[in-house]
Amino acid sequence: MAAVDDLRTLGRSRLSFASEAEIDEFVTMLHRFERGELTAEAWRAFRLLHGTYAQRQPGDVHMLRVKIPQGILSAAELEALADVGDLHSRGFGHITTRQNIQFHFVELRDVEHAMRRLGEAGLTTREACGNAVRNITACPYAGVASDEAFDVTPYAEALTRYLLRHPLSSSLPRKFKIAFEGCDEDHALTAINDIGWRARVRDAGALRGFRVTVGGGTSSLCRSGHLLYEFLPAGEMLDVAEAVIRVFRRLGDYQHKHRNRMKYLIKALGWKRWHAEFLQALAEFRAEGGARLPFDPQNPPVEGAPDRRREAGPPPLEVSTHIDGSKVDGRRMLSDAHPALPVMSGDFADWLRTNVRPQKQFGYSIVMVTLPLGDLTTQQMRTIGRLAVAYGDGAVRVTPEQDLLFRWVSSRDVADLHRLLAAAGLGLAGATTIAGVTSCPGAESCRLAVTQSRGLGRWLGDHLRSRPDLVAAAPDLKIKISGCPSGCGHHHIAGLGFQGSFRKVGGKALPQYLVTVGGGVDETGARFGRLAARIPARRCGEALERLLALYRADRTEGERAGRFFQRVALARVKAVLSDLERIAPQDVVAEDFVDLSEQSEFRPEIQNGECSA
């Protein structure tokens, strides 16, 4: 049975995902822990299930992860997030590659108050961390993309509500990830999820279904999902999801936390046996009555154009004044994006080319907002909410690239929206180009991280924006950075990936990055980058420029950068980078021992993480 009885999906006016009783239970368990009635391990497992993750800093500071199902955020939810950022965090939030929003440096005593404010807007932290079914992601273009088979949003939301607080969802051997995609391009990265759903149609579009893959993932065992169904009728999706999760819960490895994702289970059992176990679980669940979608699978709710009257947008000067009033805690690393009052110029033309695309609905546009490092200040959150009401459908969607989208923007209003975004410090171009660097939080807060991945991300992004010739040379190339092998920054599937590491030079630790080439996700599944070099952190900019020069010199006519780095001989890439890789004690300068964005000498401190707690 479903853990949530009411499974209605209501498009923009979604039902709440929150539970007041759950927050009350969190408070009760915290008090028990403080009185010594609950062990530290039991408390840790409980708080992780409720999205509260310990940071690397000593003392009472935590990361609070908020689930944003399918990446959809209403204006009211943005207001609630802004309040949490102001009152309990650093004055800004961080968008993750799984369409969550994280707040850092939250004191444990404040978590309850943050949860209650989020709950008022319908948001929850339940199962955002821990050994649970995590946030179910979906293509941010769902419902408005011209090349989609159909809008996957109602199906993804139905599965979200079915599994949220489901008895299986919080008692798994390890975390479990699910993604939905309806377009030809796999924006949601279904291939690296435990279950990936790709929309398909048959009978001239009369029958909806999904191509289903299972057991994808990155980190220490990179796997593209195995094909489970070439075409599964949409009405059977809840049964199949339940059966897959039942097998994982029953046979998964609960003892070895670093090899207990579902991909390891499939490897250990072999596909033939795993598939037999799945078919048995599926038959058993169907014999129990199974589960059904809360709508006709072939005729789900459709999100149409907003039928309300649009409000007038605020004046640009009011927006910039509002943003200038932001109060951001000093414990932060933000990109240097400042409010601006633009004119119709080349800046707008560049932004229009990279950040705007037509919707399939005539007369409307999708407007992308570039967010360096995935960060939004609380005042920017409020402004985004106001602009979504004034120019869009009252909501935005966050993306796996850590940006966000306005949808249902009248094409005649695009220029006005850009003026106001620029006034809010959100007018950067390059959302779909190499300049849109993706990065995990790294050693700024994560206990597992080796390096300051955000420092490298900020440096590379700023450098590329200052060099439009480099962006123009390889606009389709994706750069992704992670501070450790876990790969929260998705570096394994990047055209150019950077993984934080270090080496000893003259007895001292020097920050470096493992540079990989040729990763990506397409219609055939996931490809994982090949290790090309280990480059000192301060030389990564030079490494990037050399790789782009290699592409320009050796590409075939019309060959895109992503394809080039898939097929180029690895020896050729290594030869280009080999001298950057070598660094002897007599070659180093003091700056080499300082990580990007830091002022003091690098000292790697890898703590016990809670990713597998």
Q: Are residues 466 and 589 in the same domain?
A: yes
What percentage of the chain reaches a pLDDT higher than 90?
A: 86
For residue 386, give every residue at least 6 positions away whose Cβ sits within 8 Å of its Cβ, in sequence order, or none.
Answer: 75, 313, 314
pLDDT tens per residue across span 547-571: 999 999 999 999 999 999 999 999 9
Spatial CB neighbours of 369, under 8 Å, sequence gap ≥ 6 = 355, 384, 396, 403, 404, 405, 406, 421, 426, 431
Phi, psi for 398 (deg, rounded to 5): -90, 155
Q: Are residues 490 and 418 in the same domain?
A: no
Please report the pLDDT score of residue 303 as a whole number.
Answer: 83
3-state secondary structure of 485: coil
410 lies in the same domain as 376: yes
Tokens of 305: 């154009």
Residue 236 shares a structural domain with residue 369: no
Encoding tokens for residue 572? 């050729």
**Once rounded to an integer, what is the mean pLDDT over residues 280-285?**
98
Residue 302 domain flag: no
The answer to whether 480 and 438 are in contact (CB under 8 A) is yes
What residues pair up with 410 in beta bridges, in sequence order? 364
Name the domain boundary from 74, 92, 120.
Answer: 120
Does the pTM exceed 0.85?
yes
Q: Cβ contacts of residue 150 below 8 Å, gap of 6+?
A: 182, 199, 201, 208
Residue 349's contacts (CB-CB under 8 Å, 6 or more residues apart) are: none
The continuous run of DSSP H or E covering 188 comes out as none
In a domain? residue 157: yes
Could you give the 3-state DSSP secondary structure of residue 110? Answer: helix
- Residue 610 in domain: no
The number of domains in the chain is 4
Same domain, 401 and 443: no
- SS3 labels along 361-415: CCCEEEEEECCHHHEEEHHHHHHHHHHHHHHCCCEEEECCCCCEEEEEEEHHHHH
Which residues sit opposite 133 in a β-bridge? 176
Q: Which amino acid appears at position 308 of this protein?
A: R
pLDDT bracket for residue 226 (50, 70, 90) = very high
Work out the average pLDDT over 515-535.
97
Range of the domain at 167: 137-287
What's the CATH number where 384 sits? 3.90.480.20
pLDDT value, residue 93 = 97
Q: Within this chain, do residues 165 and 197 fall inside the same structural domain, yes or no? A: yes
Paired with 375 in beta bridges are 94
Quick one: pLDDT at residue 316?
A: 85
Percent of the chain with pLDDT over 70: 94
Which amino acid is located at 115 in the chain? M
Our CA dihedral for 314, 319, 321, 322, rounded to 10 degrees, sits at 100
- Residues in CB range of 288: below 8 A, 6 or more apart: none
Q: 167 and 115: one domain?
A: no
Higher confidence at residue 318 or residue 575? 575
Q: Which CATH number is 30's domain given?
A: 3.90.480.10
Taking the C-alpha atoms of residue 452 and residue 461, their distance in angstroms, rounded to an integer, is 14
Together in a domain, 453 and 400: no
Residue 296 lies in a domain: no
